[in-house]
Structure 1
Amino acid sequence: MIKLFLILIIQEILRYGNIWVFGNAINNNQCRDPDEDYLGRLFIDYEMTYRKYEEIVFKTKTFEEKINSSYIIRITRENLFENTECLMSSRRTLDVSKKSLCPWKSVITYRQDRFPFYKLENKCTCSKCSLIGDKFLDVNSFGCSPVIETVPVLVRGKCGSDGFFIWEPSLEESNLYCTCSLLTSLIPV
């Protein structure tokens, strides 16, 4: 009898995407997000917990891999670099991001499946370290490198039984700025 009941429920889900709970239909195809106030409180709690964890790691000087790297949303290389502002002569501005040996530009992105929805992202606009007069440092030894920080975010998960999406804590890489650095290590590892 129970098997028959479960089979009928599974058929109903597969056929219509509906689950009947106490006479009320919950449609899997019409799951919705909780309001932004709720997401904001959830995010602040998670962010404070993560920052406390970082503080403990720093105080105890355990600089090993803090978190399983499979949980971190990585930035792809093509989203870090765009060689559009390599020549110093074309960057006439007082903005630090343009005057730098490795310039970068800031873009605000929106993603519906991540909270906070809006995020400031930076791209290195040159892969070579540029000097005054449109000259570059030795491209075999020096290059522009992104300075990446891991930040806490909430990521939209599956639909819950209450008809709302479940927002799960996660980590995401964020490029803070770009800097000129050695491409090879001087000390053998």
Structure 2
Amino acid sequence: MKKIETKKWKDFLVKDVFIIEKKGKKYQVPTGSYIEKKKLFAGSIPRITVSGINNGIVGYYAEDIDNKDYRIYENFISVSFLGTVFYQNGKASLDMKVHCLKPKENNLNEYTGLFLVTVISKSLKNSTYSDQISSKVLAGLSIKLPVDNTGNPDFSYMESYMKNRELEVSEEINCFKSN
């Protein structure tokens, strides 16, 4: 695999690329909340926790939970306070200390979502348990992204790069199968 060229990439803060909410006087990344398990009912909406396996999914619950803190997001990147990062392509609810990243300017798709997961994971790779990635810390995280000719994040490049990688890996698998 050829190393990706990043010389023409630019550093962005998460808060400049992704949606940030105002909570009182503070700005922060949207986040989930604690809901007692006895108040959750079986359904089809994945519940994302800080787990590093199974996309962080702990179970599937109803969409219409009667609790003001029960939040459902759609098509986003989940980032836990422990630094686990996953692309969530559908609706999901978030447990406490799990953050929701949705780009301000573009909708994610499978390719841009996975590209950004890799970039964010790389930026968080030196985080430890004692760092505890809060909404405020995440908002100020610096990530390096490809840019278009106007200096904005180049989502088209991200998508085409991932499609090309998918094709390369698929060809390698087919070659392996035929031998």
TM-score normalised by length of structure 2: 0.21
- Normalized per residue, the structure richer in strand is 1
TM-score normalised by length of structure 1? 0.20
Question: Which protein shows a greater Rg?
Answer: 1
Q: Which has the higher contact order (CA 8 A, sep 6+)?
A: 2
